[in-house]
A and B are shown apart, each in its own frame.
Chain A
Amino acid sequence: MSRIYGDPIEVWTRDAEPARFVWRDRLYVVRRVLDHWVTSREWWRVSENDPGERRFWRVEASPGGQTGSYELRFDTASGGWLLLRAWD
C-alpha cells in the first residue's frame, strides 16, 4: 500500500545517487536503488540555463530495522528534493 506525500526532504548523494535522506526528523539509509528515471520539464517556460529535468529514484531504505520503498524526486530548476511516495 503506497501513500503520496510530496514532502520536501534533505538528501545526501554519492555518485550522483541518493545515499541518505532525512524525512520527518528520521534518517533513512538507502540500501538499494530499485529504479531511476528522468523526465523533462517545460523548459520553454523556465530560464535558459536550467536543464529542466526531474530525476526520480525509487529506493529501498531503512530508518532502522525495517525496510521500505520510497520514491524521491530531484528538480534541477529548484535544486530541491521531494519525497513523493512511500510503501510500507
Chain B
Amino acid sequence: MFPHLHVASAYSLRYGSSFPRELVLRAAEHEMDILALTDRDGMYGAVKHVQACSDTGVRPVVGVDMALRSPGDDPAIRGAGAGRSARGDGEDRVTVLARAGGWAHLCRLTTAAHHAGDRGEPRVTRDLVAQHADGLLVMLGPRSDVGRAVAARRDEHARALLAAWRAAVPDVVVEVVDQYGYRESNTALRMLVLAESAGVPAVLTNAVRHLDPGDYRVGNVLDAARKLVPLHPRHLEHSASHAYLKSGKEMWQVASRICGGDRDRARGLLARTRQVAERCVLDPLEILALRNDPERVHLPEVGGDPVSRLRHRCEDGLLDRGLERSRDARDRLEAELHIIEKKQLSGYFIAVSGITDMIRDMGVRCAIRGSGAGSLVNYLIRIGEVNPLHHGLLMERFLSEGRKGLPDIDVDVESARRLDCYRAILERYGESRVACVSMMETYRARSAIRDVGAAMGLPPHEIDVIAKAFPHIRARQIRSALTDLPELRGSGLGDRALETMFRIAEKLDGLPRHIALHPCGVLVGNSGLRDRTPVERSLLEFPMSQFDKEDVEEVGLLKLDVLGVRMQSAMAYALSEIKRVDDQDIDLDRGVPHDDQATYDMICTGRTLGCFQIESPGQRELVAKLEPRTMHDLIVDISLFRPGPVNSDMVTPYLEARHGWREPYYPHPKLRASLLETHGVVVFHEQVLKVVDAMTGCGLSEAERIRRDLGTPEGRERVLAWWEDKVLPEFDRETTDRAWKVLDAFGAFGFCKAHAAAFALPTYQSAWLKRHHAAAFFAGVLTHEPGMYPNRVILDEARQCGVAVLPLDVNHSGRTWLVERGHPEPREPSEEEPVGPLGLLVPGSPVSDELSPRRIGEGYGLRVPFSSVKGISEAEVERMVAGRPYTSLADFWERARPSRPVAERIVQVGGVDALYGLHPGGPRWRPGELTRRDLLAQVGALHRASSSGVTPGRRTRAGYRSRPGQSPSRYGEPGSGSGGTTPVETAPAVQIPMGFAERIEPGELPEMTEAEAVEAELEILGMDVSRHVIRFHDELLDAIGVVRSNELLTMRNGAEILVAGVKVATQTPAVRSGQRVVFTTLDDSTGPIDLTFFESVQGHCAATVFGSWLMVAKGVVRRVGARAVSLRALDCWNLVELDEAWRTGGMDKVWAMLGAVRRETGGVGGRRIEYGNGYRLSPYADNGAPPGSRTPPRKLWHASPGSSGGL
C-alpha cells in the first residue's frame, strides 16, 4: 500500500485543484491506508484533511511545503519585481512533515515562517527549521536546494548541502519524483544514488497537485494566475499531467522506471517510503478536540476558580438587574449554570464578559446578537442587554447538553471601531493567546473571469466590463447564465471569441483564491494557542489563524464573534451630535422607554428609510401591514421577513389573525401555550422546539438537536422517521401531519427568536432616534452608511422630514456630516400642497397633522462634509477643517492647501458661494457679477501663481501674509442678502499675489445653470444637494402623465400607471415561487416607489432595469396595506433615452417608444433548485447586489446651449 507523502490540495492557493476530502476518498478507493496533506505555505486544509481521514479510516500525515530563503535573498534588498518572480517556481522548496505528535511543532514552524518573510510570502531557512526540528521530518525533493544541485549535475555541491541539512535537522530524507518529464527519471535516479551513498533514506512521492490526470489544465490556469503571466507553454510546468494522485500500481511503475527495472531497488524505495510514512502518522483525536469524549476545549486562563467566580458575577447581576426576588430567574440561572459547569465553560463566560466590559469602557457601543441573547447568564453578567425572560427566549437554542461543540457568543460593535476592539483584546490577552479567524475567498464568476482574462492577455478594462456584466453567481454558472438571463443574452458576451475564456473560468469554480480576515471571529485561547493553530499576519498586521471558523471549533478553540455593525456607529455618531448641538445626554440602552408610541406611529406608516432592519422595500411593506406597537411585534416582524416563514406561507395567516380577520388556529389544545404569542402561527425556532417537545415529550435539549438535523436532506429523513415514531398517541393523524409540514418547511430557514430579539433592540433604537432626533440620526446614517440605499436617498428622506440640506461651505463643513440648528426648511414655491409623501396625510385623518413627517426634523440642517468631495485626501480634509474660518478663496487656497482639482470641485459645488454671496441659477445673477466660473478661473490663476515660483515657497510657508494688491472683496460684494455670511472686507489681508498672477474680470463667464450645478453635485458629491435630479424632467414626465409617489395612494387598485424616478435599490431575493424576481425602488423626490418585475416581463425589461439610472416604468397598482402601495411592473424605459427622443422627435416619438410592443425575448432560464420540503429557489436569486448601473451616468441630460464645455 503506497502512501503519498507529498500532496497539495486546493488549499495550496492557486496551485492545487482538489479538496482534501476528495483526495482522501480517492486514496481510500486505491486502498491506501495513509495519506499526507502537504499544502504550500500553510496548514489551511490540515484540519479538513484530518477530519476526512478520521471519517474514512485513512491515517493522516500532515506537512507543509515551504519556500526556502536562499542566502542572498533578503526581502529588504529585493525589489517588488523580484518578489513577484519569487511567487513562481524559481524558489527552492522543502517539505516538512510533522512526525507522530509533532502537530504543535509544525504549527510553530509555520507561524515562524510567516513572520520571517514578507506578508503572504513565508520563507524558512535551514536554521529556522532546525529550531523546531524535534517533532519534524524534512523531505528534500527535486525542488529543494539539494535537488536542484543534482539536476544541475553539481554532485559535490549537492553532497555538501545534504550534509548541512543532516547536521541541522536529525530527521532528513531525500524525496524522489518522476513525472515523466524530459530526463526526469535520470535525475531521480541520481537523487536516489546520492541518498544511498550518504546513508539517508529515500522516499518516493508524486508531488501531487491534482486528483485526475485531466485536472492539469486547471493547474495551468492557476500557474498563470499565480505567476501573473500569460497562458503560454513557456511559463507552464512540463508534465503537469502526471501530477495526480496515482494508484499504488502506477507508483510501482514509476519506481521501477526510476530504478531502470531493478526490482529490488524499486522495492527498497517503496519500503522506505512506507517506513517514513508510519513514523509520521498523527492521531486524529489529538487534533480534533471535539471528537474526544469528553470534549477537550482550550479555554483562556482566568485567575482563580472560574466556577465560583461566574457564580458570584451572576449573583451580583441578579441584584443589579433587580431580579434577586424572581423565582423564575433563579430557576433559570440554576439550570444554565448547571450546563455551563458540566461543560466546564465557566471560564469562557468570564472571559467574554471581561471583553464586553472592556469594549464598553472604551466608549464603544456593544450589543449581543444571535442565540446568545437567549441566555440569562449573558444578561446578568452584562454581555448583552436582552432579558431572555421578558421575551420567552430559550437557553437550549444557545447551549444544551446534547449539543456538541461550543456556544457562540456574538457581539455587535460600532463598525468604525471594530479594529480598535480587536487591538484592545490583543493588548489585554497578548499576541500569543489571541488570533483572528480567517476565511478562504473562493473563485466565483467575476473573480474567475478576472484571473483567466488576465492569463489570456485580455486588456484590463475589457476584463472589467465583462466581469461586471455578471451577477454574483458561481463560476460554473457562467455559460448557463449567458443563455438563461435576459440581460446577458443581448449583451454580445456569448461571442465565440470569449467562449474559451468562459470555459476555462468555469474550471476554477469554488477553488480557494486568497485568504482573508474573517469579518468577526476572534480566538481567545491560552498560552498554548499557537501549538494548536498556525498564525500568520493579516493585511492589517493582525495575527490570523490559518483555520476557518469550522476548523477552529473542531480543534477546540474558543471563538468570539465581534462584528462591526455600521448602524451602531451611526447611532453612536447621532448621540454625539445630539450632545454637541443640543447638549443632551441620551443613554440609548437604558434611558429610552421601549413603548414610545410616536416611534411606533412612524414605523406603522412605513416611514422607515434609514432604520436598522426595516428599511428594505419588502420590510416597509411588511411593517405597514403588520403595524407593530410593541417590541414583541418588532421581533415578530423581523422573524417573519425571512425565507423560512415566507416559504411556509406564515405571513398571511399571521397578519389575518393579528388583525382579527380570522380566528387564530391551534392544531391542538396542547400547542396553544407555545403558539399563543404569534396567534397560532409558528414564527420562531423556539416555538419549533416547544412544539416538538409538547408533541413528543423529548425535552427541549433533544428538540434542539432534532431541529438542527432538519437542515440536511439526510437529517430530514432521519427526523421524519423519528417523528412518526415518537409523537405521543394523544395527537391524531391530521395534527401530526400538519405539525410535520410546518416543521419541515421551517427547519432549514427559520429564525431564532433570540436573534430577532437582539436585532429588534437596535431596530427600535434607530427608529426612536429618527423620530425624535431626525437630523442627528440622518447625520449618523449619512456618515456611516449602514443601509442598502445610496446617500442621496437618505438625503432626500431627510429633506422630506423637514431637515434642511445645507450645501458644502468651507466655513461650516466638517470632516463628517454635521447638524446645524435653526435652519428652516427652504420650501420650494412649487411645493405648496400639504400632502406629504407616502400618503402620510390621509385626508380627514385626525392624527395626520401630529404625524406630519415635515415636523420630525424641522429646525435643523445637515451640512455636506468635506469628505464627500470626490478625490479629496484625508490630509486635505484635516487641513481644511483646522484652517476654518476662511475669508476668501485665496485664503482657503493658501492655508488649506487643496490640490487644484479638489479646489475646483469645491468651487463647482458651491463651497465658497457663501463667501461671495453667489446663487447659481437664482434670479439674482446678472452679467457682470461674480460667478462660480470666475472663481474656477481664479483657482487656475492661484495654481499658476504658486507653481510659477514668483513667490518662492509660499504655499508651505506661513510667512507669506500681506502684499499690496487687490483685495479679495473685489470679487463681488460679499454676502448680499444671503444671511449669515461673513463680510470679507473686515478680513485680514490674506490675498493672492495679484501683482504677479493674472487678473480675472468678474462676470466674464456666465454663471452655471441650476442643471449644471446639480450635475456637478452628482459628479463630485455623488448626490443631488440643491435640487432633486428628477425635477429637471418634470415637463416631460407631466406630458406623459407620470404618477408621483405621493399620489400613489389615490390610485385605484389594479390601475395601470406610469411612474418615474432614480433607481435607488435593486434586489433579487429568494422568493416562494422559485422565480428570479427583481425588486426595484425608484425615488422621485416625493417618496419611494416600489416595483416588482416578475420573470414574465424580464425578457424585455431586465437590461433596462439593471442598466439605467433614471427610469420610467409602467405598472399595475397593488395595494398592500392601509397605507402602502406597490407596483407590478409591466415595462420600463431609460428616462435619458426618452428625454433624448423628446428633444429630437417631440412627443410623437416618445409616445411611439412608450407604445411599442416589445419583442418577446423569453424569460429567465435555469433549473430551479428544489429542496426536500418542496421549496424552490431560482439559481439566480439572492446572490448579493445585482450588476448594473448604481451611479449616475456621466451625461444625465442634454447640455443646454451656451453652456461652457471648458469647465
Contacts and interface: CB of A to CB of B under 8 A. Distances in A.
B242 interface: yes
Nearest to A48: B503
Contact of A40 (B183, B184, B239): B239
Contacts of B466: none
Contact of B213 (A39, A44, A51, A56): A51
A35 B231 CA distance: 28
A48 B507 CA distance: 12
A43 B290 CA distance: 46
Looking at A39, A44, A53, which has the most chain B CB atoms within 10 Å of its CB?
A44
A42 B242 contact: no
Given A37-B181, A40-B216, A53 B233 contact: no
Nearest to B257: A36
B711 interface: no
A40 B504 contact: no
Nearest to A39: B238
A42 B181 CA distance: 16
A56 B180 CA distance: 10
A33 to B, nearest CB: 9
B185 A40 contact: no
B184 A37 contact: yes
B183 A37 contact: yes
B181 A43 contact: no
Looking at A35, A38, A41, which has the most chain B CB atoms within 10 Å of its CB?
A38
B1161 interface: no
Contacts of B438: none
Given A39-B239, A44-B500, A51 B180 contact: no
Contacts of B456: 44
Contacts of B239: 37-40
B922 interface: no
B180 A40 contact: no
B54 interface: no
A87 B504 CA distance: 41
B503 A40 contact: no
Contacts of B216: 40
Interface string B200-227: 0000000000000110110010000000
A25 to B, nearest CB: 31
Interface string A12-44: 000000000000000000000001111111111
B236 interface: yes
B678 interface: no
A40 B218 CA distance: 13
A35 B186 CA distance: 9
B255 to A, nearest CB: 15
B185 A35 contact: yes
B504 A44 contact: yes
A31 B500 CA distance: 43
B241 interface: yes
A51 B214 contact: yes
Contacts of B231: 42, 44
Contacts of B241: 38, 40, 51, 53
Given A48-B503, A51-B214, A40 B220 contact: yes
A38 B185 CA distance: 12
Nearest to A55: B180
B240 interface: yes
Nearest to A40: B241
Contacts of A44: 217, 220, 231, 456, 500, 504
Given A35-B183, A35-B185, A51-B213, A40 B240 contact: yes
B182 interface: yes
A80 B712 CA distance: 51
A46 to B, nearest CB: 10
Nearest to B236: A40
Interface string B479-509: 0000000000000000000001001100000
Contacts of B186: 35
A56 B181 CA distance: 10
B213 A40 contact: no
Interface residues of B, number: 26
Interface in B494-532: 500, 503-504
A43 B232 CA distance: 10
Nearest to B239: A38
Contacts of A37: 180-184, 239
A56 B213 CA distance: 17
B213 A38 contact: no
B217 A43 contact: yes
A44 B507 CA distance: 12
Nearest to A46: B500
B220 A36 contact: no
Contacts of B214: 51
Interface string B172-189: 000000001111111000
B806 to A, nearest CB: 58
Contacts of A36: 180, 257
A48 B500 CA distance: 9
Contacts of A43: 217, 220
Nearest to B179: A38
Given A37-B180, A37-B182, A37-B183, A42 B233 contact: yes
A39 to B, nearest CB: 5
A55 to B, nearest CB: 8
Nearest to A51: B214
Nearest to A43: B217
Interface in B228-254: 231-233, 236, 238-242
B393 to A, nearest CB: 55
A40 B500 contact: no
A40 B243 CA distance: 12
Contacts of A39: 182, 238-239
A42 B220 CA distance: 10
Contacts of A56: 182
Contacts of A41: 233
Contacts of A48: 503
Contacts of B500: 44
A37 B54 CA distance: 37
B627 to A, nearest CB: 58
B1004 to A, nearest CB: 61
B1113 to A, nearest CB: 43
Contacts of B180: 36-38
A43 B241 CA distance: 12
Interface in B1072-1088: none
Contacts of B182: 37, 39, 56
A1 to B, nearest CB: 21
A35 B188 CA distance: 13
Contacts of B257: 36
Nearest to B232: A42
A13 to B, nearest CB: 16
A7 to B, nearest CB: 22
Looking at A36, A37, A43, which has the most chain B CB atoms within 10 Å of its CB?
A37
Interface in A39-72: 39-44, 48, 51-53, 56
Nearest to B240: A40
B220 to A, nearest CB: 7
Contacts of A38: 180-181, 238-239, 241-242
A52 B220 CA distance: 12
23 contacts: A35-B183, A35-B185, A35-B186, A36-B180, A37-B180, A37-B183, A37-B239, A38-B181, A38-B238, A38-B241, A38-B242, A39-B182, A40-B216, A40-B236, A41-B233, A42-B232, A44-B500, A44-B504, A48-B503, A51-B213, A51-B241, A53-B241, A56-B182
Interface of B: 180-186, 213-214, 216-217, 220, 231-233, 236, 238-242, 257, 456, 500, 503-504
Given A38-B239, A38-B242, 19 more contacts: A37-B182, A37-B183, A37-B239, A38-B180, A38-B238, A38-B241, A39-B182, A40-B220, A40-B236, A40-B239, A40-B240, A44-B217, A44-B220, A44-B456, A44-B500, A48-B503, A51-B241, A52-B217, A56-B182
Closest 10 CB pairs of A and B: A38-B180, A37-B182, A37-B180, A38-B239, A39-B238, A43-B217, A37-B181, A40-B241, A44-B231, A53-B241
